[in-house]
Every structure is written in structure tokens, then in C-alpha cells.
Amino acid sequence: MDTSLLGFELGLSSIITILIIVLAFVVVKKGVIVVPQSRNYVIERFGKYTQTLSAGLHFIVPFLDNVAFKVSILERQLPEFNISVITRDNVEVQLEATVFFRIVDTAASVYRIADINQAIFTAATSIVRSAAGKLELDELQSSRESMNSEIATNLQEAAEIWGIEITRTEITDVIVDEQTKAAQRQQLNAERERRASIARAEGEKRSVELAADAKLYEAQKEADAIRVKAEADAYSIEIEAKANAEQTRLIAAAIADNGQPAINYEIMKRQVEAIGNMASANNSKTVVVPTDVTQTLGSLQVLLDSFSGDKK
């Protein structure tokens, strides 16, 4: 065989081998796809959607299937935007808001909407205006959490067809003009004065209630004292009555035992006690004792001696 022909055949064989290797490499490169964790790949065949590849190693038909879209599935945030709204009490304010979202249906996000950010911005603007129009200015400033929840719910319903999940909406600021701020300050001062007036009135009311309670307590204590004194007087009268009854009983017994001398003795004794009371009075200067009284005193001694003798 000719040496030149042999060299030509060897060269041609080498070229074919190289071409086969290159073709195999291209086929492998076209048929094996590694999808990163943060992305989904949309596969088309002859321009038609066939499947969505999630993270990992995948095999497709070389030259027939191709990666049409590489979509990030990380959570995204719209740039903060201002929305002019009119509240229920006809106050125009600017709301500063933002929206957080992520793609959950990759095919819907690329085939149903051209510009996701603009679509969400448009829907969010309409929903925020509608939600803010239901509230007064004070409610708008104090009810951001409930308003954020309402906006997220309504926006999710609108974005679901695009394969998008609204994770969070935030009203970051409520911007009012200077005239509205001045009116708010006046209203705040009036509210503070009203609360101060109420506090003063409640304090005065409480003071009156405490004074009335003190008077009632004093009256109750005075009534208790009167009751205790009355009970003591009643007890004293009862004891005195019992003593008088006992004395009467003893006198009656003495009369029954000794007869007339005991009666005369009791009469004379009471006369002497009466004279003693007259003499001990503060306005008594001089006491004139009649002769019959002195005789009575003498007779009392005689009766006393007689009474004592009878007992012996």
C-alpha cells in the first residue's frame, strides 16, 4: 500500500474520531442540565412548553429540547413606591408601600404576564387605594397591621393567576402635608385638654365620694356610740331596779319581822338622807333644821337602839 494513502486514511480516521468525540460532548452538554437551587428552568420543544425543571440534575432530548427561561424563585421585593390616597374623612395623604413576593408557578409567571413587577405594582396601587379609602386618617395611622393584612389578601387573589405568591405587604410610612399636621396637632391638644378635664372631674367626684364616706362613717360611729350608751343606761337602770326590788324585799321582810318600828326606821332614814342631800348641794350656804327634824334624828337613834334590842 502506498505510504501516502495510508497516511491519508490515518488522518481521516483521526478527524472522524475527533468529530465523534466533539459530537458526543455536544450531545451530553445539550442533554444534561444542572439546575441551581435558587432557579427553575422552563423547557420548550419546537417553541412549545413541555416541562419545568427544579433544582438538581436533569436529562432532556438534545437539539429538540432547549432551556427557554431561567427563572429565579427567591423572594423579591418591589422598590418602595408612593401612592396618593383619599381617606374616608376626605384627607389626601401619601402612602409609602412595598410588596414582597416569590414565584411558585414558573410557567405561569413567564407565559401569562410580561412584566411581573409592573403588574404587581399596578394591582397593589389599586388595592391600597381601595383599602385606605375605607379608613379615616387616625385609623389609617393606627391600623397599619390590619390594613397590611387586607392588602396582602386581596393582592394574592389578583396575583395567583400569574403564579405569584404575595408573602408580605408593608405600608412603611404615611405622609401628610403641613396643613394636615397642624390640624392634627390642634386636635391632639384638644383631646389632651378634654382628657385633663375628665381627670379633674373624676378627681373632684372621688373627693366628694370620700368626704361622703367619711361623714357616713362618722355618723355610723356616733350611732354605735349612742347605741352602746343606751345599752349601758338600760343595763344601769336594770341593775338599779333589781337593787331597789331587793331593798324593797328586805324592807318588807323586816317589816314582817319587826312591825311598826321597822317602818318608822325606814321613814326616818329617808328623811335623814334628804337632809344630807340638801346640805351637800353646791348652792347651799346655810341649812336651817327645824326642831321636829332634830327630834326626828333623836327618835331615829332611839328606834335604832330599839330595833337592835328586838333583834337580840
For the four alpha carbons of 215, 221, 225 and 227, in that order, the dihedral sign comes to positive
Q: Which residues partner with 100 through β-bridges?
A: 77, 168
Residue pLDDT, tens place only, 231-254: 887 877 878 777 777 767 766 676
What 3-state DSSP class applies to 30?
Answer: helix
Residue pLDDT, tens place only, 168-182: 998 888 888 777 667
How sure is the predictor about 105, in pLDDT bands with cuts at 50, 70 and 90? very high
pLDDT at 104 over 90: yes
pLDDT at 311 over 60: no
Give the lowest-confidence range in 66-75, 199-208, 249-258.
249-258
Q: What is the pLDDT of residue 133?
A: 85
Q: Is the Cβ–Cβ distance between 81 and 98 less than 8 Å?
A: yes
Query: What is the average pLDDT score of the chain?
Result: 78
Q: Is the Cβ–Cβ distance between 6 and 16 less than 8 Å?
A: no
Looking up cell 336594770 gives: 238
Q: Is the Cβ–Cβ distance between 108 and 163 less than 8 Å?
A: yes
Tell me, rounded to whole angstroms, the distance of Cα 153 from its chain centroid: 28
Q: Is the Cβ–Cβ distance between 64 and 85 less than 8 Å?
A: no
Q: What is the pLDDT of residue 175?
A: 83
pLDDT at 188 over 80: no
Helical (H) or strand (E) element with 35? strand 32-35
Q: Which residues lie below 8 Å from residue 187, measured CB to CB, with a gap of 6+?
A: none
Q: What is the pTM of this model?
A: 0.53
Q: What is the pLDDT of residue 161?
A: 92
